[in-house]
Amino acid sequence: MLRIERILCPVDFSVFSARAYDYAQSLAQHYQARLFLQHVVEINLPVYAYYVPANYIVELQQQLRKDAMLQLQEFAQRPADYGAPPERILNEGAPANTILSFAGAQKADLIVMGSHGLQGVDRIALGSVTEKVLRKAYCSVLVVRSPEHDFVSPGSGQDPVQLHKILVCTDFSEYSKTALEHALSLAAEYHAELSVLYVLEDMPASKDLQSTTQPLLARLEQAIPMEARGQCSIKPLVRIGKPYLEIIQQAAEAKTDAVIMGVRGRNTLDLAVFGSTTHRVIQLGTCPVLAVHV
């Protein structure tokens, strides 16, 4: 059974962070988890700082901390009437390293982040804080971007996130098995429809479409635990083509609310995330992606 007891949501007060906070709040409420709302103050002094009196620098640092704490307190009130209030954390340092250090110290089960920050990193650019966290994290990371359709519910006191359709991708590996466990748990929590997708990159020339896909569909059915079948609607799917393109296309066609994918652990991901299927789906897709680390 999936256990999510500690959720970390790093924010930079951008609209992307606000959307990620909605998801973090909702998940914390569903799983009765502790929610940490973290902001990292990065104090970069100019190269000519040695000309400035030391007391001015100290005053500047103190003011930055004070302003950041006020922003964090205000940010934490959105929305003010759903779920338990988060634990507000203010740290100083390099954002990605500080986020990872705090997540490790608290043994976070999940990090929820916006895909872009105030720096406006576009879809193709590399090196954003989110990407660094995704590459180095030991726990799963939910990356929330600005989707084509809005999941945030109007009205006070309601769940800020509605997940109606979830897509989990599998290649029948142990990593995919763990991703499926996460997907089944989320689908049950949100009463969502779950699609389990396998992408066949190359179709054998000697076989027709039906004889190729039927065994794969049967294998997908077998991968779904019997006890999970009554908890939510589950649909196996097979597509043929480039994996990341087919995943993005399936998510768009079905108006999917979240994509769940397994990744092969920190060391492999650190070396291969740029150009990997998971990274491309996060970069080019339109809905949140949960990268499940094993």
pLDDT for the residue 284: 87
Instruction: Classify burial at 256, counting beta carbons within 10 Å of its beta carbon; exposed 0-12, middle 13-18, buried 19 or more.
Output: buried
> Which pLDDT does position 84 carry in this prediction?
75
DSSP lists the bridge partners of residue 204 as: none
* Third-level CATH fold of 1-152: Rossmann fold (3.40.50)
Cα 35 to Cα 29: distance, rounded to the nearest angstrom: 9
| Residue 7 vs residue 49, higher pLDDT | 7
Distance CA 258, CA 142 (A): 9
CA dihedral 67, 69, 75, 80 (to 10 degrees): -130
Average pLDDT over residues 254-263: 93
Examine the pLDDT at 185 and tell me if it is beyond 90.
yes
Indicate if the pLDDT at residue 59 is higher than 90.
no
Asked which of 5-9, 15-19, 215-219 is least confident by mean pLDDT, the reply is: 15-19
- Give backbone dihedrals phi and psi of 235, rounded to 5 degrees, phi first: -130, 120
Same CATH fold, 163-294 and 1-152? Answer: yes
Q: What is the mean pLDDT of residues 205-216?
A: 83
Please compute, for residue 43, the number of CA atoms within 13 A of its CA located in the half-sphere on the CB side: 16
Per-residue pLDDT for 22 more than 80?
yes
Predicted confidence at residue 106, as pLDDT, reads 96
The sheet carrying 6-10 orders its strands as: 87-92, 34-41, 6-10, 110-114, 140-144, 289-293, 258-263, 165-169, 193-200, 234-240
DSSP, collapsed to helix, strand or coil, labels residue 250 as helix
What is the rounded average pLDDT for all residues in the chain?
Answer: 83
Residues 6+ apart with CB under 8 A from 88: 37, 69, 72, 73, 76
Residue 166 β-bridge partners: 194, 258
Q: Write out the CATH class of domain 163-294.
A: alpha beta
Query: Taking the model in full, what pTM does it have?
Result: 0.87
Per-residue pLDDT tens digits for 77-110:
876 566 778 999 999 999 999 999 999 999 999 9
What tokens were used for 54? 């030391």
Q: Give yes or no for a contact between 57 and 109, defined as CB atoms under 8 angstroms apart.
A: no
Q: 235 or 283: which carries more pLDDT confidence?
A: 235
Place of tokens 């077998």: 222
Write the pLDDT tens digit of every residue in 109-153. 999 999 864 443 344 443 478 888 988 898 999 999 765 445 545
What's the pLDDT tens digit per position in 167-178?
999 988 888 899
Domain boundaries defined on the chain: 1-152, 163-294
Specify the DSSP element, H or E, that contains 66: helix 54-75
Q: pLDDT band at 220, cuts 50/70/90?
A: very high
pLDDT of residue 123: 43
Whether omega for the bond prior to residue 85 falls within 30 degrees of 0, making it cis, is no
Tokens matching residue 294: 């094993």
Residue 42 has pLDDT above 90, yes or no: no
Minimum mean pLDDT among 10-14, 33-37, 193-197, 249-253: which range? 10-14
